[in-house]
Structure 1
Amino acid sequence: MQKRTFILITIILSMTFVQCASSQFSNYITRKTDKIYDGENQVRFISFNIPNLHYIEDYLPFEGTNPWRLPNEYEIRDGLRSIKQLGGKVTRIYVLSVKKDGDTPDIIRHVEGPGKFNEEAFKALDLVMKVANEEGVRVIIPFVDNWHWWGGPKEYAAFRGKEKEAFWTDREIIEDLKKTINFLINRKNSYTGVLYKEDKALFAWETGNELAAPYEWTKEIAAYIKSLDNNHLLVEGVIAKDITPEAIEDPNLDILSTHHYGDPKYSIEKITSNKKMIAGKKPYFIGEYGIIPTQKIREITDTIMSQGLAGGMIWSLRPRERSGGFYHHYEYNNVESYRFPGFASGDWYDEKAVLEIAREKAFQIDGLPQSQLPIPEAPNMLEIKNVGLISWQGSTGAQSYSLERKEEYVNDWVEIEANADDSKYQYRPLYNDKTAEFGKRYFYRINAKNESGVSGYSNIVGPVEVTEKMIVDEMENFDEVFQKEGELKLLVNEDIRKAKEDRSRLTGKGGSYIIYQIPGNAVKIQVDYFVSKPDSTISLLKGSSVADLSEFTPGKEVFSFAKNDYGFFDAVRLTDDIQSEGTKFLKVELNEGVQISRIEITYIK
C-alpha cells in the first residue's frame, strides 16, 4: 500500500513539474505606483492586439457562409510567435462572445445563456494560454464587449427579456455576468491543469472592451473580480478618452487604459493630459490605436514612450490560417489587419512600415538594440491532389518561400518558384505549378526565407501524378487572359469586406469580356464571382476557336450569408464539366454588378 501511494505521489509531482516546466514565467505581473513589474524588472511594451487569437471572426472562404470558427494550435502559435518576434511581450485578445438573436446553429459562442457555456470555445482559450506559457508571451483578457460584434450588453439583457441598458443596473443581469466571470477565473485549463487565476501567462484581466459603463457598475464588477483573483492585475476597459478620478482612486482597478482613433493631434493631447493626472498613482497604457497614417502611428508611439506610459497596443495583427495564407480583416481608411513580418501585397496600407515601427519601438522602449529576426522554422506542405492547387502552412517571420519539385525515381530537386508568397491570396490554394508535365509524377517540398537566413525543408508530399493541369486566374492582372475588351477594372480594396476580404477581383461594364486560350482540352470550368447588385449575372461561351464560340449554361451554386454586420455579397459559383472534346477557348462576358473573384480552367493533354 505504501509503495502504491509513493508511486501515485511521484506521478502527480511529475505531472505538476511537466506543467510548470512548460511555462516561461516565474512571476505574476504586479504594480508599484504607476509602474508594472515582472518580479523586480519593470515591464513596458509596444505590441499589437490579436482580437481573433482565441476565436476566429474572419473565416471567409468563397463558399463559406459562417465566418466564425475556433483556432487550432498552429494558428495560435503563429500569432503568439509573431508578437514575440516583434518584441511585444504581451498581446490583448478580444472578448468572450455571447449568443446573439439570429445566430445559426453552426455558430459557436462562449456564452450561450445565463451560466451556460460552450466547452469547445473555452478549450480554444485554454489552448491560447497553454501556448502563451510555452512561447513566453502574456495575454490580456477582457470579459465583455460594449459593442454588438461578438455580443455584449444587449445579448446578456436579451437572455432575460430586457433592454440593453438594463445590463448596467439590473441585478439579475449583473449576476449573470458574474457567473461568466466566475466560470473563467476559476476554470481549470483543460491542457495544463492550471486554474486561470493561477496562470502566470495572464498579464491582466480587463473589465471589458470600450465599455460605456457607469462607475457604480465598474466598481462592483472590479471588486467582484478581485475577490475571486488577487494574483492578477485588473484593467479598466472603458470607451472614454479621459481617465476619471474615481478610477484612479478605486483600489480594485490596477491599470487604466484608453483607446485612441481618429485625429492624432487630439489623441496625443488626451494621452499627455491623462498621464499628468495619473502620474505616480497607477500604470496607464493605450489599449488600442492605429488606422491612421503611418507617420502618425509613429508619433503616438513616441508619445507613449516619452510620457512614460506602461505601453501601447496597435490595432491589429492577424495570424496565419491553417489551410495556407493568413486571416484578414479590413477596417476602414484603407487599412486592414497586419500580417507579420509584412508583405508587398500589403503596400497599399503600408504594412511593412507599420510593423517595422512597432518592432523598432518594442526594443527601444527597453533601451535595447533591435535584434535580428530568427531564421524561420520549416514550413509544412499540405496534401496535394492537383498540381494546380498547392498550399502550405507558412512559418512565423518568413518573408518568402522556395518551392521545389522532383520527378519520381530522380534524385535531383528543381526550384520551381524562388519567391513563393503566402500573403497574396485569401482562403484558397497558394500556388499553381504551370510547368508540371503531363504523365509525370512529382514530389514537392518547400523552405522558408527571411533576412536572417533559410529554414530547413518541409515534409515531402507526393508522388502527385499529372493527369490534369489548370489555368488559375486570381484577377490581380491580365497575364492569363488571351483577349479582352470593354471597360474592365481590377479591384483591390473597393467593397473588400463585402467581398469576403478578396483583394483581387475583376469588374466591368455591360458588353465587356475576357477570353482564355486553353493549352489542351478543357474538362472543367469554374467561375467564382460576387453579386454587388441584385440579379447581376455573367455569360459563358466556349468553342474550338474565337470565331466559333457558343453560349452554354453551367451549373450554378449560390453561397449566401444569413443576416450579418457586414452586408456580405452573395457568392456565386458556376461550374461545367465539359463532355465534348475540342474546347480551346472560354469567353466570360461581364455585366454591371458582378465582381469576378477567381477562374479555374482544368484541362488535359
Structure 2
Amino acid sequence: MLKLRLSVAMCLIFASSGTLSAVAPETAFRNFVKKDGDRLMDGDREVRFISFNIPNLHYVEDHLAFEAISAWRLPDAFEIDDALLAVKQMGGRVVRIYTLSVKRSGDAPGLPRHVTAPGAFDEESFRALDLVLQRANALGIRIIIPFVDNWKWWGGRGEYAAFRGKQPKDFWTDPEVISDFKRTIEYVITRTNSLTGVKFRDDKAILAWETGNELECPHSWTREIAGYIRSLDSNHLVLDGRHGQRLTDEMVDEPLTDIVTTHHYPDNPQESIRYIVENRVKTRGKKPYIVGEFGFVSTDAFRVFFDTIIKEGISGALAWSLRGRSRDGGFYWHSEPLGGDIYKAYHWPGFATGRVYDESALLSLMLLKAHEIQGTAIPRAEPPGPPVLLPIAHPSQIAWRGSAGATSYRIERAEANKGPWTEISAGISDAEVQYRPVFGDSSASRNRRYFYRVVAENSVGRSKPSNVVGPVEVIELASVDELANFSRSFHHRGKMSLVSQEARKAKEDIHRLRGEKDAFITYRADQAIRRCRIYTFFPGESDLVFLASSDGLAFSPLPTRKTAFASGEPEYGYWNPVLFEVGDLPPDTRFFRIVFPALADLARVEIYY
C-alpha cells in the first residue's frame, strides 16, 4: 500500500554493548519451504496461513515519543519477541516485513539506512535483521522479505536511481542502476548472520524473497531480477512483488518466480473478493498465490475474506498491519493515512482504544481463522509472562515493558523491597496512553519511600510479578491530566473540544483538548502548586498564556520556558510539539489557568505540588 511515512532523522538504538559473536543457531525448522504445483510445502506438509504484515519488525518507523526528533530507530530483542509472540499466540505461521530502507536526500547525517549508497550498507541496520531471523527461527515463524519499495517512504527505487542522478523510472531499465540493485540482493542473500553464523540463503526461517513491494515494473525487469535471485540462492522461493489486485497470465506463467501476490484495500470488498477468486482460478495447479496485504475494512468483510481464502485453497493471507510494544513502555502506534482516520495498526490481543475499528473482535477472528486454515484446534490460552518494570524517576511516571497476550496490569506497592505488597490499582491497559508513562501513583504520600512491581493478567490468569523497582523517594506529588475528559480540571470556557481524530498530526496522541482563540481551562489544587509541565501541539507558530491565582478570581501571568521538538519536515502536515514548563509559582497558588491565544491542542498537563 502507499504509506505516508515520517521522513525524519533516525535515532540509532540497537541493543549491543560490544561485538556480537555467532552462536549455534536455535531453530524450529527442519525444511525450507518449497512449492508443489500451486501449494507451499514444508516437507510433506502443506503450508497455509492467515497472519499479519509487521512492517517495523526490523526497522522502527513509529518512535513518536513527544521529545523524539526522529521517528526512526532499530528494534531490540524485546520488541522483536513481543511482535513475533503476538503472531504465534494468534496462530500465525508467517509474517511479512516491509522493505530494506534506502538513504534519501535530506536524511540527517548518521541516520542508518540499510542501503546508504551503491554497494554500501549499514551494518547496524542489518544486525537488526539478523536478530529478527534469529528470533523467528527460535519461535517458529517464517519471514517474507521484500527487497525494495516502489514508493519513497523508506527509500526505494527512486533513491537507487537518484544515487546515479537518474529518474525513478530508470530503475527498471538503466543497466547501472539495475547493477546497483543487484549488489544489494547479493549482499543480503550471501550475508552471514552475525548472531547465528548462518548465511541468509541457508536460513530456513526465510519463506521467500519478494522482488519488492507494490512494484510498477515491466515484466522483463521481474524476469531479470528473479533470475538473479535464483542464481544466488537455490533454497528459497521467489515471490513476484508486482502491484495490483488482479494477476496477469505472464505473472502466473513466469517460470523464474515461484509465488504471486495481490494487495487489496477495497472501497467495495465484494469486488476484491471477486478478484481474489478470479486470481485463484488463474493460479490453480500452476503456482502458489498469497494475498500479501488486505485491510481497512470491517470485521464482517474480513470474515468473508478469510473464508474465501480458506475455501478457495489459497496458500495464505496477510492482514495489514500489526505493531508490537515499545521498549520504553506501551505500544508503537501507526494511524493509517488511507484508513479514513479510522484504522490504525492492530495491537494484540485487542484493547478498548481500538474499539472504533473493532480491534478485539477482528483479532479474535484472526485467531479462529489462523487455526481453521491449518486444520488445527485453538490451544488453551496461558497466563502472560511477567512484565519488566522500567526505572521510576517520579511516582507519577510509571512505565513497564508489557507481556505478549496481556490485557491489563495490576500495580503493587510496598515500603520494603520484599513487601508486604499492597495492590494500588488494577485493570490498567498499556494501550491506553501513547508514548508516555502508563500509570501514575496518585495515592503516594510525600516524604515516603516506595517500592513497586507490576503483574500482568489476561482472561485465564496472572503472571508472576515483575522485577521490583525502588526505593522511589516521594519529594513532590503530581496530578496528571491526559485530557481524555474534563474530570481532572476545575473549569473551562470558550470554544474547546476533546479530540481523538487526526492523531497522526499529534504523534498518535488520541486524547487531546483542542482550544481556539480566547478559550481557557483552569485547574485547582488543595495544596500549593509548585510547578507545571504542559505538552502541546500547534498547527504553526503560536503560544499559550499561563496564569496563577490563590483564590480563583484574581490571576497573574507566569513566566515559562518553551521547548519545541519539531522535526523540521512538515511534509504531511504534522503539528509542532511544544513543551511548556512553568516554575517558581507564587507560594499560595491554588489555581492554574491555561489560555489559548490561537488554535492549539493540549496533550498532557502535569501539575506538581
Q: TM-score range by the shorter chain?
A: over 0.9
Gap regions ≥5 residues in structure 2: 1-20
> Distance between the aligned counterparts of 2:418 and 2:48, measured in 1?
55
1:305 is aligned to 2:310: yes
Note the alpha carbon deviations across 1:140-190, whole angstroms, 9 max, x for none. 000000011111111000000011100000000000000000000000001
- Residue 409 of structure 1, CA deviation: 7.5
Residues 110-121 of structure 1 mapped to structure 2, 5 A cutoff: 110-121=114-125
Which residue of structure 1 aligns with residue 12 of structure 2?
A: none
1:428: which partner in 2?
Answer: 436
Name the SS of the counterpart of 1:448 in structure 2: strand
2:523 is the counterpart of 1:519: no
Residue in 1 aligned with 2:278? 273
Aligned partners of 1:224, 1:518: CA distance in 2, in Å? 69
Partner of 1:393: 401
2:608 to 578, 602, 605: 602
Distance 2:140 2:571 in 1: 35
1:449 corresponds to 2:457: yes
1:359 maps to 2:367 = yes
Query: Amino acid of the residue matched to residue 443 of structure 1?
Result: F
**Aligned equivalents of 1:158 and 1:185: distance in 2?**
24
Distance in 1 (CA, whole Å) between partners of 2:279 and 2:419 is 66
- 1:496 CA displacement: 1.2
1:92-114 residue CA offsets vs partner (Å, 9 max, x unmatched): 00000001111112522111010
Structure 1 match to 2:100: 96
Q: Structure 1: how far apart are the matches of 2:585 and 2:578?
A: 22
- From 47, 50, 55, the equivalent of 1:51 is 55
| Pairing 1:228–2:229 present | no
Contact 1:59 1:68 in 2 (8 A): yes
CA contact (8 A) 2:417 2:470 kept: no
Alignment partner of 2:562: what SS?
strand
Counterpart selection for 2:515 from 508, 519, 528: 508
Alignment match of 1:557 (pick from 552, 563, 581): 563
Q: Provide, for residues 107-154 of structure 1, a one-character-per-residue CA deviation record: whole Å limited to 9, x for no partner.
A: 221110100101110000101001111111111000000011111111
Amino acid paired to 2:369: K
Q: Could you give the per-residue CA deviations for residues 6-57 of structure 1, whole angstroms, max 9, x where no partner exists? A: xxxxxxxxx99x624x111111111100011111111100000000000011
Tell whether the 8 Å contact from 2:558 to 2:585 is kept in structure 1 after alignment: no
Whole-angstrom CA distance in 1 between matches of 2:315 and 2:572 = 35
Conservation of the 8 A alpha-carbon contact between 1:404 and 1:444? yes
Q: 1:460 aligns with which of 444, 465, 468?
A: 468
In the aligned structure 1, how far is the partner of 2:152 from the partner of 2:63? 19
Match of 1:24 among 12, 18, 28: 28
**Which amino acid in the other structure matches residue 424 of structure 2?**
I
3-state secondary structure, aligned to 2:279? helix
Give, in whole Å, the separation in 2 of the partners of 1:410 and 1:139.
43
In the alignment, what sits opposite 1:343?
351
Shift of the alpha carbon at 1:358?
A: 0.9
Q: Which residue of 2 aligns with 1:489?
A: 497
1:117-136 correspondence to structure 2 within 5 Å: 117-136=121-140
Instruction: Trace 1:46-445 onto structure 2 (pairs within 5 A).
Output: 46-262=50-266, 263-331=268-336, 332-333=339-340, 334-408=342-416, 411-445=419-453
Which structure 1 residue ranges, 4+ long, deviate > 6 Å from structure 2?
none
| Equivalent pair of 2:411/2:453 in contact (CA under 8 Å) | yes
Q: Pick from 543, 557, 582 the counterpart of residue 576 of structure 1.
A: 582
- Partner Cα separation in structure 2 for residue 200 and residue 374 of structure 1: 28
**Partner-residue secondary structure (3-state), 2:131:** helix
RMSD of aligned alpha carbons: 1.4
Secondary structure, aligned partner of 1:521:
coil
Please say if residues 522 and 578 of structure 1, whose CA atoms lie closer than 8 Å, have aligned partners that are also in contact.
Answer: no
Residue number in structure 2 paired with 1:6: none
Amino acid at match of 1:102: G
Amino acid at match of 2:354: G
Please give the secondary structure, in 2, of the residue aligned with 1:449: strand
Write the deviation string for residues 66-100 of structure 1: whole angstroms up to 9, x where unpaired: 11110111000001001100101010000000011
Measured after TM superposition, the shift of residue 495 of structure 1 is 2.0
Q: 1:481 to 1:565 in 2, by over 3 A?
A: same
Query: Does the 8 Å contact 1:149/1:565 carry over to 2?
Result: no
Shift of 1:579: 5.4
Q: Is contact 1:66–1:106 with CA below 8 Å preserved after alignment?
A: no
Shift in alpha-carbon separation, 1:409–1:498, aligned structure 2, 3 A: closer
Q: Distance in 2 between matches of 1:204 and 1:371?
A: 28
Task: Tell me if structure 2 keeps the 8 A contact 1:372–1:452.
Answer: no
- 1:512 CA displacement: 2.0
1:472 aligns with 2:485: no
- Segment of structure 1 superposing worse, 282-291 or 474-483: 474-483
Give the percent of matched residue pairs that are identical in Structure 1 and Structure 2: 45
3-state DSSP of counterpart to 1:335: coil
SS of 1:502's partner is coil
Which of these residues, 558, 566, 575, is aligned with residue 572 of structure 2? 566
Structure 1 CA distance for aligned equivalents of residues 401 and 351 of structure 2: 16
How far apart, in 2, do the equivalents of 1:381 and 1:32 lie?
Answer: 48
- Aligned with 2:290: secondary structure? strand
In 1, Cα distance between equivalents of 2:241 and 2:134 = 25
Deviation at 1:64, TM superposition (A): 1.7
The answer as to whether partners of 2:534 and 2:579 remain within 8 angstroms in 1 is yes
Deviation at 1:449, TM superposition (A): 0.5
Shift of the 144–275 alpha-carbon distance from structure 1 to 2, 3 Å rule, reads same
Q: CA deviation at 1:564?
A: 5.4
SS at match of 2:364: helix
Q: Work out the CA distance in 1 between the residues paired with 2:605 and 2:285.
A: 61
Question: Would the alpha carbon gap of residues 290 and 524 (structure 1) be closer, same or farther in structure 2, given more than 3 Å must change?
Answer: same
Paired residue type of 2:204: K
- The code of the aligned residue for 1:578 comes to D
What amino acid does structure 2 have at the position aligned with 1:504?
H
Q: Is the 8 A contact 1:383 1:461 kept in 2?
A: yes
Q: How much has 1:552 moved relative to structure 2?
A: 1.6
Deviations 1:542-587 (A, max 9, x none): 1222113211230111122232543221111111222542222111
8 Å contact from structure 1 (residues 102, 563) kept in 2: no
Instruction: Give the Cα–Cα distance (whole angstroms) in 2 for the partners of residues 153 and 366 of structure 1.
Output: 36
Once the two structures are TM-superposed, the CA of residue 231 in structure 1 deviates from its matched residue by: 0.2
Distance 2:475 2:254 in 1: 70
How far apart, in 2, do the equivalents of 1:251 and 1:440 lie? 72
User: How far, CA to CA, are the matches of 2:494 and 2:568 in structure 1?
Assistant: 35
> Contact conserved, 1:507 with 1:590, CA < 8 A, in 2?
no
Contact (CA 8 Å) 1:497, 1:566: kept in 2 or not? no
Partner AA of 1:455 in structure 2: S
In structure 2, the CA distance between the partners of 1:565 and 1:368, relative to structure 1 (3 Å rule), is farther
The whole-number CA distance in structure 1 between the counterparts of 2:317 and 2:418 is 54
Equivalent-residue separation in structure 2 for 1:151 and 1:509 (angstroms):
38
SS in 2 for 1:522: coil
Q: Distance in 2 between matches of 1:411 and 1:161?
A: 66
Select between 505-514 and 467-476 the one with higher mean Cα deviation.
Answer: 505-514
SS at match of 2:263: strand
Q: Which amino acid aligns with 2:353?
A: S
In structure 2, the CA distance between the partners of 1:453 and 1:223, relative to structure 1 (3 Å rule), is same
